[in-house]
Amino acid sequence: MKFDYDVIIIGSGPAGFSCAMQSTKFDKKVLIVEASAHTLGGSWISKGTVPSKALRAAAKLIQSFNRQFGDEKGRKPFERYRMEDIMEYKKPILESKNRQVKDDIIKNEVETVRGWGKIIDANTVEVTNTLNHIKTFTTKHILVSTGSSPSIPKNFEIDHTKILDYSSILELTHIPRRLVIIGSGVITIEFATIFSALGTRVVILSDLPGILPFLDKEIKEYLIGIIKSRNIQIFNNSNVTKIATNDLRTCEEVYFKTAGDSRLQVVETDHILYVGGKKPNTNGIGLETVGIKTNPEGFINVDNYFRTAAPNIYAAGDVIGQPSLASVSFLQGRIASSHMFGSLSTDYMMFNKDIPYGIYSIPEISGIGLTEEMALELGLDVTIGRAYYDNLTRADINHDTEGILKLVFRTDNLQLLGVHILGEHATDLVHLGQSVMAHNGTVKYFIERVLNYPTYGEAYKIAAFNGLNRVHKSGVKYKKVLDRAD
């Protein structure tokens, strides 16, 4: 049977975009259906990854400038800088990314259609545009990459004016003086440190016993120290019961209780940012017509190649659930395409092995592989090597001396098992460790190679020496320590 397309992709975010690009490399005919009338690239470009990182970059610049040059009148950043200027910083970045995605799509001869995509049967997608005009297209394969949306809180309503979600906060037209963030994960810590750098007084109400439960314990303690030094307050185990406007005091009041304390507490603020979970964009896209199964939270179930229960229909990106990252979605889309067209072995991609995490807080946090606690739980004999940023010449030069890089390696053969970093450029730095780990390398790599100087990468060398010294001090002669990896 002849179809209009080899693959129709519903949603142009990282998963859809990468599936389209990969499919054109296999000389396939591709159509992307995108619901947004103006943008391509999904929340990656318009609502999530890129705009929040642009806001971070602007806040970091302001923070560095303020630290270096201060203000003789002691004014806070929000009294010196305007959100309008920060928005101007962000605007050209988003425009250029949008243009780039569009150019790539055109260059690679991918067709696009604007409108709401819905699966009618296993080989047909219907597209309804904003004028309610309907077109149908036939296809051999379908990729569902419709992404996710912010989840909705139970005890209050997001009005996108005072009470914001992680998308509407990026549209704020002023820098708030006070901000309450309800959440405990990555986005919470990113926005908390970004707004704190802009002079905002931030309070975090976390419903968990702590923040970022997956972090290496030592890195987390270091982070909490930084957070406290920035006057960011955290209330753990808290449950928000109500949010009300106090017209007299022209503020919002957030009422909450913490576990084990029956008192109702209240915090006054200008804005509230709610960062609950994500919900998959699966409503009204016709999953039920082709028997596609979802898990109890509504995310689409897929196999290792991102196939759904319908054999020619794939799903990738946020719509299938964790880890819900642009970085991961890009690879998922490629694997799905590779599997559809059987042209590339996907085994080498080692997809689920050692995915790094990156947190774009100020400073950044990143890591890969085993934490110290995980290694001990597995009963492994590991040694830890540490480097502190205040020992790095480059960090000194840049006045970025807050931070630590931590290596976890096997004591018997020095094999690198994990890298955990808190400090500037952590999200880039982690990839050096990732490469060594991917080749089953040892920490000797860092002391036997010339690394550029001064760089943040020097931290690897210092941490490797630090860890090897520790093995030496435990009673193994230094020469023997180095012989271990040969």
Chain residues binding ligand FAD by CB under 6 A are 10-16, 33-36, 42-44, 48-49, 52-53, 116-117, 145-147, 166, 187, 281, 285, 317-319, 324-327, 329, 360
Tell me the C-alpha distance between 382 and 365, whole Å: 22
In 10 A of CB 456, how many CB atoms? 25
Q: Which is nearer to ligand FAD, 36 or 108 (CB)?
A: 36
Give the closest residue to 369 by CA, choosing from 335, 330, 410.
Answer: 410
Q: How far is the CB of 161 from ligand FAD (least distance, A)?
A: 19
- Output the DSSP codes for 367-426: EEE--HHHHHHTT--EEEEEEEGGG-HHHHHTT----EEEEEEETTT-BEEEEEEESTTH
What is the smallest separation between the CB atom of 318 and ligand FAD, expressed in angstroms? Answer: 4
End-to-end, the C-alpha distance of the chain in Å comes to 59
Tokens of 270: 């200008």
Q: How many CA atoms lie within 13 A of 68 on its CB side?
A: 11
* Residue ranges in 185-251 assigned as alpha helix (H): 186-197, 217-229
The smaller minimum CB distance to ligand FAD, of residues 95 and 221, is found at: 95
Nearer to ligand FAD, 116 or 409 (CB): 116
- Residue 120 C-beta: closest distance to ligand FAD, Å: 13
Instruction: Report helix, strand or coil for 48.
Output: coil
Q: Which residue shows structure tokens 């009470």?
A: 163
Half-sphere exposure of 229 (CA within 13 A, CB side): 9
Smallest separation, CB 329 to ligand FAD (Å): 4
C-beta of 98 vs 258, nearer to ligand FAD: 98
Beta-strand pair 30-34/111-114: parallel
In terms of CB distance, is 58 or 319 closer to ligand FAD? Answer: 319
Q: Let me know: does 179 contact 273? Beta carbons within 8 Å.
A: yes
Least distance from ligand FAD to the Cβ atom of residue 51, Å: 7
CB 98 within 8 A of CB 40: yes
Question: Please, which residue, 10 or 384, has the CB nearer to ligand FAD?
Answer: 10
- CA distance linking residue 461 with residue 467, whole number of Å: 10
44-49 long-range contacts (CB < 8 A, ≥24 apart) are 44/13, 44/14, 44/17, 44/326, 44/329, 45/94, 45/97, 45/98, 45/101, 46/94, 46/98, 47/167, 47/170, 48/166, 48/167, 48/326, 49/326
CB of 32 to ligand FAD, least distance (A): 9
32 versus 462: smaller Cβ distance to ligand FAD: 32
Q: How far is the CB of 39 from ligand FAD (least distance, A)?
A: 7
Question: How far apart are CB 440 and ligand FAD at their closest, in Å?
Answer: 26
Q: Cβ of residue 207: shortest distance to ligand FAD, in angstroms?
A: 19
Q: Burial code of 60-77, b = ≥16 C-beta within 10 A, e = fewer?
A: bebbbebeeeeeeeeeeb
Nearer to ligand FAD, 33 or 240 (CB): 33
Nearest CA to 106 out of 116, 95, 118, 98 is that of: 98
Residue closer to ligand FAD by CB (options 169, 414) is 169
Distance from C-alpha of 135 to C-alpha of 4, rounded to nearest angstrom: 12
- Minimum CB separation of residue 381 from ligand FAD in Å reads 34
Residue (187 or 375) nearer to ligand FAD, CB: 187
